[in-house]
Structures are given as structure tokens and as C-alpha cells.
Amino acid sequence: MRPRQSEASFQNFFRARRYALAAMKITRTTRPIGSRTLGALVLAGLCSAPALASAALLPAASVPHAAGLTDLGRAPAGMPIQLAFTLPYQHQAELDVLLADFGNPASPLFGARLTPAQFRSYFAPASADQERTIAVLRAAGFTVVRTYSNRSVIDAVAPSHAVERFFGTDIHRVAQAHEGVRYANATVASLPTALSGLISGVTGLNNLQLMHFHYAFGQRRALAPDGTIGKPLRGPDGGYGPLAFANGYNLPVQHGFDGTGHTAGIVIGGNPSDSDLAGYLSAFGVTRTGTTTRVPIDGGPGSDSGDEIEATLDYETIASLAPGADIVIYEPDEIPFAQIIDSYNRAVSDALVETLDSSFGICETAEPAFAKQTEHIAKQAAAIGIVFHASTGDAGSQGDDCSGNSGVDTPASSPSFVAVGGTTLSVAKSGDYFSETAWPEAGGGVSTMFARPAYQKGVPNVISSGRNLPDLSFDADPSTGESFFFDGEFEGPIGGTSLSAPIFGAMVVELDQMHGAPFTGGFNPPAYAAFLANGYGKGKTAFWHDIVFGSNGAFSAKKGYDQATGIGSPDADNLSALLP
């Protein structure tokens, strides 16, 4: 636990940073003390930082490429196209410095955070810019269908002919294998001059299903008696039950912290069954006290079976490992890019959750504008105390739909996301940790879009050319995967990094409960700082499991950080003592 800083020391810090004093206050949530205000401080101007230049705007959209597409010709002129426009933040340079201070153990602001209202008052896009953007869109034939309290995203719809004229592109109907008839821009779309300086990105010029779900089924195995009492180690399908992960990673739930009073979020285009969850929990003797809230996004979820499987995996994992936590599921209709952006921004605007799971991804270079939009919104999440995290993928070091021998998935490649990789976990009959190797299919590598973040500087084995991932890992191998109750019966085991990601989500809300406050500035800065300062530890007091065997293709597990497993897997209860 960090000692409380005096009000004078905070004042001196701000003067040293040459922040001007203003009426806005910052809420400091140094854990485990809880929140306190710093006084009448902050952020009328960061005099020591260079003036913020207008963000460089990308082309609106490149032509999407995916296997199994058949061009059906020009879309009908009146076909509606819904787009999500993200707006740039004010004072972006100050926000970046502030987030670095929130995650820096040497800063007096370590563990501090902004309330959503504070973020809106200083960093959110200006009301005038939002109004100007809306006026431009309406003049071009768009109808604005949704805005948000944080003014970060505008959802607007227009007929195809108006979208084509506005972006200088052609919209075609296409048949996508296994996904039906959809639409996509057939030529590169250009950002209109009228929007220059007003938006930071746009998604929705196609509604293709390009994201990959990161789950995989293992071979059903015979169930042998495991010698445990009360809660079985394995389910009827032979997959691991909650005990294997709770004991294997020494989660706080095994020490009286089950997430009560805290909230985990999930983004997925499916609607998991409460009756399936009840069947799963009953089989393992888990009593859940948390609640579930479903938030429809852009009309709500569809009925695609892939979405339902993914949604059920995420839901069962978090609910069983953090049974006291509330869960909010943001449910778009499938997961095209624009609806993911809407889901992320809705979660940040609502500010109900403390962590948000994304168990899907696609090569970051497949849709660069989308990758940058996710980073944009994730920065806001970090400022107000929401940890965005994503699975690294199940295509090894090549990434999903990446060309060449290596590549990484978005949104996991975003520096403001926690990239969760995958391993093959072995536990004893008690569920205690035994061994772990890199899972060959787990994603990992080096981003070509995002620079190496500050929190990875000085970390041995990190490649300096870009953001390295994963950050950490949990079990993902379907052969050692999770027992899975779906459509009224056990159908597992199931794995993939879609398993490792929600294990991380459950851990975060339990750590929040332990310390009385959410992570701020993101999870990665304090986690890497703790690793650099303390290493792995030893024996029963180890903070991390160093995974040194296995490979994901281009990258091998080795001593210390590696691009197959990250820092390794955590011993969560031991690690908690090092985190704010």
C-alpha cells in the first residue's frame, strides 16, 4: 500500500509539472484506501507540453479483403448505411501525460483517476465541434440516430447514394460465405474535406463479419475421479472446472474476494442463456450472487451460433470465477466494426464496468482506422478506471488474416488494452498450479501500427520496433480447456484465447475488491512496473509463473518476457500486494 501524500505535495507536484490550477478536481483512488480528492487542481493547460496539433486523419476506409466474398454489384441507391464517427479529444497531449502519471508508481498521482464528468468537462470533444460535425452530416443527407454523453461518437445513417457521394466511393452488395448478403465499399473511401479536423475516424462502410472469435473445442475426455471434495476439478466433458483456474492462478476468490460490489463487462454479439449458466454453476457447486444486465447495441444481438458459443464461454468463465461480481453484457447485432465502436463507447459513456472483455480480433492492418479508433476510446476508459482487455487470437504468430509469417490482432495490439495470450496449463488434483507451456496457437508478436509503449521500455526481450504482445497469459489450450455447458448439456472442453481473456476479467474485478478501487491509467503500467521492480519471485511467494517452454510459431517462450506468453501467468493473490 502506498502512503498517503499530503495535499501540499500534490500542489507542489502540479507546479513542478507546470499544470495550471483550475476548478476541476481529480479523484485519487489509491488502493486500498479508496477515493479522495486532491483539491482544486488540474489541467487548464500543460505548459511544458507542446501545443496539440490536429490529429492526422486517415483515409476513411480501404477496400476490405476477405475470403469467400462474391460481388453482387452496386447497392440499391436507397439502402441505408449506418456509420460511427469518432471525434478527437481536446488537450490530447495533456491526457497522455496524465495517463502516464496515473500508471507511474513514482508519480504522486499513481492510482488517481478522473470521474466521467471530469473527463467530459476538459478532455471530451467540444460541444461546438460535435454540433458542427452533426451539421456537416445532416447537410450531406445523414440522419443522426445516436449521440453519447461523452460526445466521443456520433452514429448516423444515410442512403447508399449519399454515402457514396460523401466519401467518393462505391458501395456494393456482396455475398459473404456463411454470413449471407452484406455490403462493402468497393473502392477506397476518402475523408471529406468538410470533416477535416472534426473527426478522428469512421467505421461502417462495410458490415462484413470479419472479426474472428477466439475459441476452440478440445476432444471430449473420459472423466476420472479427481480426489477433490465438494467441487470437482473437471466437468462431465472432461474440461477443467472453476477450481483449476481459481487454484491454479491463486485468484483472490480463494481468499474471500469474489468480486462482490464490482462489475465486469463483456462485448459480444450474442445473448448467453441464464439457464445454461445455472446448469454450469450447479455442476460445480458455485453459488452466484452477482447480477446480469444486458445492454442492446444498435438493435441488439442476432442469433448466429458462433456468437452464442462465444458469449456463453465468456459469461460462464467470469460468472464462475468471480461469482459475486455483477456482469454487464454489451450486445450488438453480431460484431461488425461500427457496432464494436458503439459498444466500447457505450461502456465508457455508461461507466458501469471496471473491466471490459473482447474475445475476438482481426489482423490490425486489415482495418487500420478501426485499430486506431479502439485505442482512442480505450484511453478514455483508462482515465476513468475501466480496463479494456482482449484476446490475442488463435492463429499463432501469424495473426488472424495477416499476410506473411507474423502479425498481431486488433484490438489486443492497442497499447491501452491488456493483450491476453494463451498457454497449456497443468494442475494437480487439488487444482494447484503444476506447470505451463506456451500454447502453439496463441497470438503474439510486435505491432506495426503502434509504437512500443512507455510501460514496455526497459523490459528485457521486448522488441523496440513496436508494441509487444501479449502482456500476460492464462490457459487457452482446448485440450486442457474449460468444461462448457451449452444448450442444456456439457459440450466441452473448450479453449482458445477466448478462455484466457475472461479469466483475466474475473481476476481484475477481484483485485478491485481487494483494494477498494478500480485500476486507473490501465492495468499494464503498474503490472510492468511491478515486474521490473520485483521480477518473478520464488516458490510460494512468486508473483508470476515464468513460462519457458513452447512456441507460437515465430516466437518461443523463454526466460523473462517473450512474445509467446508475455510476462507469464500471474499468481494473482501474491501479485496483488505489488499493485496499486
3-state secondary structure string across 209-246 = CCCEECCEECCCCCCCCCCCCCCCCECCCCCECHHHHH
CB 416 within 8 A of CB 437: no
Alpha-carbon span 349 to 151, nearest angstrom: 9
Q: Looking at the chain, how many residues does it have? A: 580
Render pLDDT for 45-84 as a digit per residue (tens, 0 to 9). Answer: 222 333 323 333 346 778 887 777 899 999 999 999 999 9
pLDDT value at residue 65? 77
Q: Tell me the average pLDDT across 11-21.
A: 43
**Phi/psi-derived region of residue 230, left when phi > 0, alpha when psi is between -120 and 50, beta in every other case:** left
* pLDDT at 326 > cutoff 70: yes
* CA-CA-CA-CA torsion sign (349, 355, 361, 363): positive
Give the contacts of 63 (CB within 8 A, at least 6 positions apart).
Answer: 184, 185, 186, 187, 188
Alpha-carbon span 387 to 45, nearest angstrom: 27
- Using N-to-C axis directions, what is the helix angle for 92-102 and 368-384, rounded to 10°? 60
* pLDDT at 227 > cutoff 90: no
% the chain with pLDDT above 90:
70
Distances (CA, A) of 210 to 314, 400, 473: 20, 10, 24
% the chain with pLDDT above 70:
86
Query: Three-class SS string for 312-357?
Result: HHHHHHHHHHCCCCEEEEEEECCCCHHHHHHHHHHHHHHCCCCEEE
Burial of 549 from C-beta contacts in 10 A (0-12 / 13-18 / 19+): middle
Render pLDDT for 424-442 as a digit per residue (tens, 0 to 9). Answer: 999 999 999 999 999 999 9
CA angle 324, 527, 250 (to 5 degrees): 45
Average pLDDT, the chain: 86
pLDDT value at residue 412? 97
Architecture of domain 69-89+124-208: 2-Layer Sandwich (3.30)
pLDDT value at residue 542? 96
pLDDT value at residue 369? 87
CA angle 434, 496, 566 (to 5 degrees): 60
pLDDT value at residue 214? 53
CATH 3.30.70 in the chain is located at 69-89+124-208
**Cα 36 to chain centroid, rounded:** 27
CB 240 within 8 A of CB 482: yes
Q: Compute and round to an integer the Cα radius of gyration of the chain.
A: 23
pLDDT value at residue 22? 38
Q: Tell me the average pLDDT across 193-222.
A: 76
Render pLDDT for 107-152 as a digit per residue (tens, 0 to 9). Answer: 888 888 899 999 999 999 999 999 999 999 999 999 999 999 999 9
Render pLDDT for 448-495 as a digit per residue (tens, 0 to 9). Answer: 999 999 999 999 999 999 999 999 999 999 999 999 999 999 998 999
Alpha-carbon span 148 to 197, nearest angstrom: 20
pLDDT value at residue 306? 55
CATH of segment(s) 213-576: 3.40.50.200
Backbone angles phi, psi at 147, to 5 degrees: -125, 170
CATH 3.40.50.200 in the chain is located at 213-576
Distances (CA, A) of 178 to 70, 72, 181, 213, 402: 12, 16, 9, 15, 21
* pLDDT at 5 > cutoff 90: no
Q: What single-letter amino acid sits at 275? A: S
- What the block records as the C-alpha cell of 156 is 448516423
Range of weakest confidence among 52-66, 269-283, 505-519, 538-552: 52-66
Taking Cα atoms as reference points, which of 111, 106, 47, 103 lies closest to residue 454? Answer: 103
Taking Cα atoms as reference points, which of 242, 275, 318 lies closest to residue 509? Answer: 318
Give the contacts of 526 (CB within 8 A, at least 6 positions apart).
Answer: 103, 105, 110, 519, 578, 579, 580
